[in-house]
Chain A
């Protein structure tokens, strides 16, 4: 490390990373500062903590029915995640364990559909939900995403590491196929389930476009949707908006910090 060129390289490396880290962190910092300032101060770019925090929180709770929004968000994300994991892990396991030439073709078809943009689905889905009188219901949000091709693929990949001899042993022990799935596969693969839970919960929690289309009354809205609606006011109250943004970000942020390794594993999982 005595070589001046190498030293320069080191310095450049730290400079690059420090700048990147600063840019990455700054909006979080800004969100916190903003929540303590008045709307006028946020607009003026006041970069120090203010005294309006409790005022903003109070306004946030009076403008919006926050407990109801939180319930909606957690309910939709929670039920949606549970159903997605069950349905999609069943399929991922099924595709990997019970191979047949025809099912491989079906799977290849699913992979092709993986890149179908949601924009191509949303109009028919909306009309379908309208016909079924499901507009503005939890079902309308949850059902379309329960069978997730990505999560099926994720579980199929993970199942490749599931020892086949365990299934053989369980068969000889007298378990039916569904019992093998329930009593052997699921407990053995719990870290896969944990990682998948994080990805799916995140996706459900952060979903914006589909709830925007389907959820129409205030008492059905999710927290993210309500937060988004705060800025569509003619003159948004930015302090309150920041409080909303904090509420919308906090759950995923907490999950991330508690389960950082699982979180990253989950994201990487499908491309192994």
Chain B
């Protein structure tokens, strides 16, 4: 059947509107991803590369720095994301109360960190967590600790600083999503539950949380992707140290490519580890959160 002129012009317009974006995405996204895949099978230094087959993958398994970066990244993911999301949920629930005095003030305050630039907040945090810094001063004066904590000099505490920093920066962001979703829930559901004598904690756990499931999934995926790509904070606050204890995969890729003698092929292989992790974890999260009633 010959298409009418009108139907044809719809087709032409349909492509015309998206073509600029598709062309740019092709050049700056699709092509680099494929190139990077090809590169991950190349070995060599700088621009001189040759095909190495699975050499890079073998090197991954024998590279203690990579193993360290991987465990660090996964540690941050496993600890930071749950802490942050639970906090965000708690804050949102506390704020979702029209009778609360100073509600918008609290909301603005908790949201404020995610307005700052990553660089600015990272340098401020680095200064706060110095050995004699303000955080230690405060904890000492509150008698919560007996002696200063070596925040940036100790592998364990450096990790704590990173987790605390990211949590500070992003909790308010996630809270806003939860708050918006909570405000879309029909109030009368809570009123009905109150009349039925359901206690507050049960209203939260059995009503709010299940109804927020799609948003919780969304924020979990977004946070997972963000944490797997963690770069700015470790690069600025702890410089990946001490002794690589806060080195992340992204930071390692950066170091491999731009700090040391460039090893682009191997760096590309490491970057595909992130791609793989993002893919696997997204699938797992969707699988866990899928609707069981369906």
In-complex A–B contact (CB below 8 Å): yes
> Could you tell me which A residues sit within 8 Å of B by CB distance?
9, 13, 16-18, 20-21, 23-25, 27-28, 30-31, 34, 42-45, 47, 87-88, 90-91, 93-95, 97-100, 103, 106, 110, 113, 115-128, 143-144, 146-147, 149, 152, 177, 181, 202, 205-206, 208-209, 213, 224-225, 227-228, 230-231, 238, 241-242, 244-246, 248-249, 252-253, 256, 260, 263-264, 267-268, 271
Residues in B whose Cβ lies below 8 Å from that of A246: 120
Residues in A whose Cβ lies below 8 Å from that of B124: 27, 30-31, 34, 242, 245
B289 within 8 A of A: no
* B140 to chain A: closest residue by CB: A45
Total residue contacts A-B, CB cutoff 8 A = 273
Q: Does B249 contact A119, Cβ atoms closer than 8 Å?
A: yes
Bound form: Cα–Cα A146–B24 in Å: 8
Q: Does A208 contact B232, Cβ atoms closer than 8 Å?
A: yes
Interface SS of chain B: helix, strand, loop or mixed? helix
Q: What are 18 A-B contacts defined by CB distance under 8 Å?
A: A20-B171, A24-B111, A24-B112, A27-B125, A45-B132, A45-B134, A47-B134, A100-B14, A113-B29, A117-B275, A117-B278, A120-B272, A127-B47, A147-B21, A147-B28, A213-B254, A249-B120, A264-B111
Interface SS of chain A: helix, strand, loop or mixed? helix
State which of A25, A28, A43 has its C-beta within 8 Å of the C-beta of B133. A43
Interface residues on B, range: 35 or more
Q: Does A119 contact B253, Cβ atoms closer than 8 Å?
A: yes
Residues in A whose Cβ lies below 8 Å from that of B274: 117, 119-120
Q: Does A209 contact B254, Cβ atoms closer than 8 Å?
A: yes
B197 within 8 A of A: no
Closest beta carbon of chain B to A100's beta carbon, Å: 6
Closest beta carbon of chain A to B220's beta carbon, Å: 12
Residues in B whose Cβ lies below 8 Å from that of A93: 17
Given contacts A25-B112, A147-B21, A245-B123, contact A125 B11 (CB under 8 A): no
